[in-house]
């Protein structure tokens, strides 16, 4: 015989089990299937919602609704990642003023924290590479000597030995790295903006990127002996400059002396 109290107890346990199973199933569903809701503002973080509002103001004309891109105007940003967005917006390259061979650096329209908000929005939309630190400075000290080696192998072909930049094809160019922040350089290496090749973490580990950044910062922190770096191309330009300018000056000085006597 089963007593009445034991039956009610069993029923209560069964009811609890049912409730637990329902909660678990619902929770798993909520975790596993966010896709359908991803584009709705409700599922975005607060920063991403701010970013979405900014995106709809500044970027939507070319990159389209939900950053899916507009044919002939701007590419889709799904999978671009926050690093790319932050780099493009923080350096003023985006929002672009016009189409051209290359979108150059210009005074930024949006503030860095706004850039991060848009980045967060794009990140939550489609994922992609992210900058693994939050500050403007790299979190770890870089090895300048090793960074120099890596810079000469990987970067100097386009950005020149002194990080002064150089020309590419058809009006494109590699910009000077002077004045770039740690964060911008890291983002550029990670995402390969415009025609720059991508240097993923398998090729240059985060620490190696820090090394390169330390080397570039070291270069830019230096002054030019004599006051004018001449593009920091080294002794060849310096000799050419002193030869050409010096010769012209001496010629005119000689002419002046001859004319006076």
Partner 1 sequence: MSDMDRFELVRRGAKQRDDVEIVHYAPQFAPGSKQEDRMVRIVSFLFIVSGLLGFIFVACYIWWPFTDFPDVTGWEYEPGNSWSKGFTPILGLTSGGALMVVGLAVLAWGKKLLPHEIVIQDRHDGASDPEERKLTGATLQFMGEEMGLKRRPLLKVSLLAPLGGLGLAALALPVGMMIKDPRHPNILFQTGWSPETNGGKLVHMVREDGVTKIRPEDISVGGQITAFPGIPGGVTNKYADSPVLLIHLRQDDADKLRASAVNYPINEGGMAGNLVAYSKICTHAGCPASLYEQQTNRLLCPCHQSQFLITDNAKPIFGPATRRLPMLPIEQDEEGFLRAKNDFNGVPVGPAFWEKPEA
* Residue 167 backbone dihedrals phi, psi, to 5 degrees: -85, 150
Choices 3-11, 58-66, 153-161, 178-186 (CB under 8 A): range interacting with partner 1 = 153-161
Establish if 47 lies at the interface with partner 1 (CB under 8 A).
Answer: no
How far does CA 118 lie from the centroid of its chain? 12
Beta strands in the chain, from DSSP E residues, in sequence order: 166-167, 173-174
Contact 157, 50 (CB under 8 A): no
Shortest Å, Cβ 35 to partner 1: 24
Task: Report yes or no: 86 and 183 within 8 Å, Cβ to Cβ.
Answer: yes
Q: Which of 45, 61, 203, 251 binds partner 1 (CB under 8 A)?
A: 203
Q: Is 236 in the site for partner 1 (CB under 8 A)?
A: no
Q: Cite the DSSP H helix spans in 107-181.
A: 112-126, 144-154, 156-159
Considering only 1, 33, 223, 259, the residue that binds partner 1 (CB under 8 A) is 223
**Residues contacting partner 1: total by CB under 8 A:** 33
Which of these ranges, 5-13, 89-97, 148-156, 229-237, lies near partner 1 under the rule CB under 8 A?
A: 148-156
Write out the two tokens for 71: 């044919």
| Closest CB to partner 1 among residues 39, 143 | 143
Contact between 83 and 130 (Cβ < 8 Å): yes
- Write down the least CB distance from residue 225 to partner 1, Å: 5
Q: Which stretch binds partner 1 (CB under 8 A): 12-20, 64-72, 175-183, 219-227?
A: 219-227
Give the closest residue to 218 by CA, choosing from 170, 152, 162, 135.
Answer: 162
Give the residue with the Cβ less far from partner 1, 54 or 204: 204
CA 225 to chain CA centroid, nearest Å? 32
Quick note: the x/- pattern for partner 1 over 155-184, rule CB under 8 A, is --xx-------xxxxx-x-x----------
Q: What value does the CA radius of gyration of the chain take, rounded to a whole number of Å? A: 29
Using the rule CB under 8 A, is 234 a contact of partner 1?
A: no
Q: Indicate whether 202 belongs to the interface with partner 1 (CB under 8 A).
A: yes
Ramachandran region of residue 194, left (φ > 0), alpha (ψ -120 to 50) or beta?
left
Compute the least distance from the CB of residue 114 to partner 1, in Å: 27
Asked whether the beta carbons of 87 and 122 are under 8 A apart, the reply is no
From the list 39, 154, 181, 207, which residue makes contact with partner 1 (rule: CB under 8 A)? Answer: 154
Name which of 68, 84, 74, 93 is nearest 120 in CA terms.
84
Nearer to partner 1, 3 or 221 (CB): 221
| Residue numbers at the binding site for partner 1 (CB under 8 A) | 149, 153-154, 157-158, 166-170, 172, 174, 192, 194-200, 202-203, 218-219, 221-223, 225-227, 257, 260-261
């Amino acid at each position: 015989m089963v007593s009445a109290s034991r039956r009610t107890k069993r029923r209560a346990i069964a009811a609890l089990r049912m409730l637990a199973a329902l909660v678990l199933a619902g929770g798993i569903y909520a975790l596993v299937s966010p896709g359908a809701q991803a584009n709705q503002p409700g599922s975005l973080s607060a920063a991403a919602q701010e970013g979405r509002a900014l995106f709809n103001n500044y970027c939507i004309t070319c990159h389209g609704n939900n950053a899916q891109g507009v044919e002939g105007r701007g590419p889709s940003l799904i999978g671009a990642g926050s690093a790319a967005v932050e780099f493009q917006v923080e350096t003023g390259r985006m929002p672009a003023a016009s189409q051209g061979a290359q979108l150059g650096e210009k005074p930024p329209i949006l503030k860095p924290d706004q850039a991060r908000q848009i980045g967060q929005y794009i990140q939550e939309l489609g994922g992609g590479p992210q900058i693994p630190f939050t500050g403007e400075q790299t979190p770890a000290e870089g090895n300048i000597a090793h960074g120099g080696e890596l810079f000469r192998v990987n970067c100097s072909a386009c950005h020149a030995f002194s990080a002064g930049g150089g020309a590419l094809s058809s009006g494109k160019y590699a910009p000077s790295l002077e004045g770039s922040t740690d964060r911008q350089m890291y983002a550029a290496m990670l995402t390969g903006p415009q025609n720059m090749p991508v240097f993923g973490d398998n090729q240059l580990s985060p620490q190696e990127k820090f090394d390169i950044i330390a080397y570039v910062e070291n270069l830019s922190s230096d002054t030019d002996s004599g006051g004018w770096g001449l593009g920091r191309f080294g002794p060849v330009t310096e000799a050419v400059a002193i030869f050409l300018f010096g010769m012209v000056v001496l010629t005119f000085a000689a002419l002046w002396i001859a004319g006076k006597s």
